Amino acid sequence: MKSKKKNKAKIKSKEVEEKIEVLEKDDIDYLNSLDVWIVSHGGCGSNYIADLLEENNINVRLKKGRINNYNYGKYCHLSFIPKDVKTKILYVYGDLINSAYSQEKRNILQFNLHKLKSYHNHSDSNDPFNYLFQYNNFYNNQNVISLKYPYSKNDLLECFKKLKINISDEKIQIKKRKNIFNQEYLNESSDDMKKIFEFYKGIKKII
């Protein structure tokens, strides 16, 4: 019985690998052109870090700025590491329920959920939005520097040190989260937000 389960798992992994090939060589070349690829599930301060690094001449987007930056937006919430990507990676995660709530308040939750499910065919009924899929792919990779939100100035400095980036602590100004989730909000939230709360509220490693 055990061997059959293993065979099924191997087949599923193979199917995911085949789907990943939808990303073209140009996509891989873009990611490898960056000094650091910053990726997250959204709503957890990754854009602040990207802005900070960019202001200090670290290439994190190729084209500067967030607005109308197609390539940056395409890869910033990817849920897996494509084959042949060699660049440094900073994975930001955590505080998931508040992160999703923050995105919903800014009307970008559905947009970012779509990015999490793009370019792969992973499917897990216990992980409907691929948050755990992303976590397992990035956090468990020895070549990735992981940073859990909320993070402190010292947390950032430690990550920068591991990435061999030199930024003065005086340049780091971290703001507290404005949008804090209250369960009463579920009465007026989207179906996606309700589902996120239902499936992920008890998973401590990503909240």
pLDDT in tens, 111-140: 999 999 999 999 999 999 999 999 999 998
pTM: 0.87
Instruction: Give residue 19's pLDDT band: very low, low, confident or very high (50, 70, 90).
Output: very low
Question: Measured between alpha carbons, how far is 152 from 206 in angstroms, rounded to an integer?
Answer: 17
DSSP letter, residue 176:
P
Res 65: pLDDT: 63
Burial of residue 120, with CB atoms counted within 10 A of its CB: 0-12 exposed, 13-18 middle, 19 or more buried = buried
